[in-house]
A and B are shown apart, each in its own frame.
Chain A
Amino acid sequence: MTHAAVFAHRPLAALPAIRPPAILAKVLSKSKREVRLRQLADHYVQLVARILRNAGTADADIDDDVQRVFIALSNRLDDVRVGAEKAFLVQTALNMAAHSRRAAARRRETLTERPPEVGDIAVGPEEMAERRQVRRTLDQILCAMDADLRAVFVLFEIEEMTTVEIAAILEIPTGTVASRLRRARSDFRERVAMLEGLPKTEVG
């Protein structure tokens, strides 16, 4: 029987209503999960990499640690409500970076051996334009900061999050965030002032 004959015998209007079978529903459910994961990776890979880097993960470990963060998300995806993925990723990245710093310390391969001091890396603005030098200096300053202060500083000053967002992510009161931020900014400015060879400035 030709195709024409088949269609002549069974007009389109007479076709039964299409219902997706159970296996298709299962495939679609898996696809939805994959779509969600892929979208999250598209949106947040760079954010996670940046947070890891600024929170103390060595450049060479960024690739692996970003993957670990997303694998952690993938394992817990069903528990993470829609809209809360960013907070989960940031929190995991901060934990991962803390782990990375501890591992680096054990290997005696920390990014910096000591905090910057006056006369050590005293460079002018022109030289600071050299990005590698700037990056190294930023690493040294952040590395010298207390881990709790550093997390708040990175999220507020570099990731431009609000104190309310930071409080939700770190699961601490906003007052604590404000106080840590104040101390972190004071620490940061003090160290930059030392680099500039200027006396300590009052920090707002």
Chain B
Amino acid sequence: MDDPERILDQTTSAIERALLREGRAYRAPDALRPHTLAALGLAGSAGLPASVFAWLSARSWTTKLVLALSTVTLLGAIPLRYIRFAQNAPPARTASPVLVGMPLPTPAGPTSPAPSIAVPHPAPARPMDPPAAPPPAPARVSATTSSALRAELAALDAVRSTLANDDPAGALSFLAAYFRTFPRGRLHFEAEVLRIDALAKAGQLNIAQRYAQEFLKRHPNSVLTARVRPYAEP
């Protein structure tokens, strides 16, 4: 069946043309793509898929070896880059890095469980307590620029890689640095979900559950609720 000619190709009306062109010209903001990837749990690791894809389609083992080495180098560069900017941030003074800069699910009591995760920063006796004094001004990075967004993606990618390597304590310390460095980051929600993942993986199921319940309470319509809900259930 032959399709009729499209209105835009045949019309003489300036209004029809303007309307249809406007419909075709709609373009969502560039931030939509990283947001979508973050919602899919694919934030960061921008160079990884291409390498993996090339690796999969490579025919000779020599090529695969070269590609594997370059992928390993690339993956190694991400945490190194992250460590570089994490070193610039001042260490937490009064709270565990796991919880720095994060909204607490409920007011902490003296019997709050202390995370038993080994972290590289000093932790107080009651890490669930809010800091007694405001923390020192951290080296804040504006999340409004694309470079800041890239840095956020790299930071979360480091968290994801560390989690994938069964190192939840490392992931939590990376997350603590992320929350310190990007107090108003664009990928805050994703970071919160990763924190819940990491806490659960570290065996801190009660804390993960409290964070999950708080997340669902604060963001009931978030696209990330599906990932959080299993942790919130008793």
Binding site for B on A (CB under 8 A): 18, 28, 31-32, 34-35, 37-39, 41-42, 45-46, 49-50, 53-54, 62-64, 66-68, 70-71, 74, 125, 128-129, 131, 134-135, 137-138, 141, 154, 156-158, 160, 162-164, 174, 178, 181-182, 185, 188-189, 192, 195-196, 204
Contact = CB atoms under 8 A, between A and B. Distances in A.
B28 A158 contact: no
Interface stretch (B8-16, B76-84, B176-184, B200-208): B8-16
Interface in B31-71: 31-33, 35-37, 39-40, 42, 48-49, 52-53, 56, 61
A71 B7 CA distance: 34
B52 A67 contact: no
Contacts of B23: 50, 54, 138, 154, 157-158
A162 B3 contact: yes
Contacts of A162: 3
Given A41-B40, A49-B27, 14 more contacts: A31-B52, A34-B42, A49-B26, A50-B23, A50-B24, A50-B26, A54-B23, A63-B35, A135-B26, A138-B23, A157-B8, A158-B20, A160-B6, A196-B13
Interface residues of B, number: 40
Contact of B28 (A37, A62, A163, A204): A62
B1 A164 contact: yes
Interface of B: 1, 3-8, 10, 13-16, 18-20, 22-24, 26-29, 31-33, 35-37, 39-40, 42, 48-49, 52-53, 56, 61, 221, 223, 226
Nearest to A54: B23
Chain A facing B: main interface SS: helix
B4 A204 contact: yes
27 contacts: A28-B52, A28-B56, A34-B42, A35-B53, A39-B49, A41-B33, A41-B42, A42-B33, A45-B32, A45-B36, A50-B23, A62-B28, A62-B32, A64-B221, A66-B32, A67-B36, A68-B223, A70-B39, A71-B226, A125-B15, A129-B18, A134-B22, A157-B6, A160-B6, A195-B15, A196-B13, A204-B4
Given A45-B32, A45-B36, A196 B15 contact: yes
B6 A35 contact: no
A62 B28 CA distance: 8
B52 A35 contact: yes
Contact of B16 (A54, A158, A160, A192): A192
